[in-house]
Amino acid sequence: MSSQYETLKNIFIDSVERDAYVELESAKYNYKLLESSLDKPLKMLLLFGRPGTGKSMLLNKLYHNLKESREIFYFEAPILSEKEFLRDITESISSQKIPQNMRVNFDALLKYCRSIKGKREIIFLLDECQLYSESLMEKIRLLSDTRVVKFVITLHKTDNEEIIAKEHFKTRIWEVVEMKSATVEDLEIYIRKKMVKKGFMEVANMLRKKDFKYIYSHTLGNFRETNKYLYTVFDIYQYYDEVESHKLSTKRFSKKILEMAALRLGYIHE
């Protein structure tokens, strides 16, 4: 018989799947802002924040919620080859398969987009755009200028934020939605909801305010780090459950195991 903690740790595998999404007030606000912005005459919309703030999750939710009512396409992973990117864009717009050995005529693509202006509105969601080349970003800019193709792009926030100052963003972005790290209160809701959603209310109730503050002190509200930390915590719980279950309390969350997980991940040192 498998340990319940094996299931619990797998809840915290970092994923952007719909089932992993947790509705927080801040995320709800940002989602509504994103959705409403698509009805504005934008060329590009920027979803901006440090890694682990939930940008990909929000983009994924937007796609799944709108794919039945809008002409929308989601490029979850960056397509770093300009040739492949333009092929995928063209196939999405034309609904026609392009042979692998054929190179897209970009001027012809622009001309086609201009010819359907006012007839179609095509939305592309592009994740991890900081990985795209200057040349490819310039082509994205030119496509957005047709006002047929709209782009919602995500970028990692950097310390100097130089990418925001680049000309192809500065003059074309209608709206910037900045994603921020969770507060300790948000983090508590996030962790509890993930566990309760899968039927682990009793374990969720074992966590106290000071436990959430301890988790926050290491992850600083970063969802990716929080998932990694909780996965490690429940991996240790699973070990004790299978080998020395008598050492586990059913009433209180183990501070020792929280510390062991922090040690394993290098948050603290002996």
CA dist 249 to 102, 134, 207, 237, 259, Å?
A: 63, 56, 12, 11, 16
Backbone angles phi, psi at 91, to 5 degrees: -65, -40
Distance CA 220, CA 222 (A): 6
Q: Is 86 helix (H, G, I), strand (E, B) or coil?
A: helix
| pLDDT for residue 162 | 55
Rounded to two decimals, the pTM is 0.82
Q: Which of 181-185, 204-208, 233-237, 248-252 has the lowest mean pLDDT?
A: 248-252
Average pLDDT, stretch 25-33? 85
Phi, then psi, of 173 in degrees rounded to 5: -75, 130
Where do the H-state alpha helices sit in 3-81? 4-11, 25-37, 55-66
Q: Quick one: pLDDT band at residue 119, thresholds 50, 70, 90?
A: very high
Strand, helix or coil for residue 109: helix
70: left (phi over 0), alpha (psi -120 to 50) or beta: beta
* Alpha helices, H only, the chain: 4-11, 25-37, 55-66, 82-94, 106-115, 134-145, 167-170, 184-197, 201-206, 209-219, 223-243, 255-264
Domain ranges of the chain: 25-179, 183-264
CATH topology of domain 25-179: Rossmann fold (3.40.50)
The residue assigned the tokens 């606000």 is 29
What does the pLDDT read at residue 44? 86
- 59 and 70 in contact (C-beta within 8 Å)? no
48 sits in which H/E element: strand 44-49
pLDDT-derived band at 137 (thresholds 50, 70, 90) equals: confident
24 contacts: CB under 8 Å, gap ≥ 6: 182, 186, 189, 190
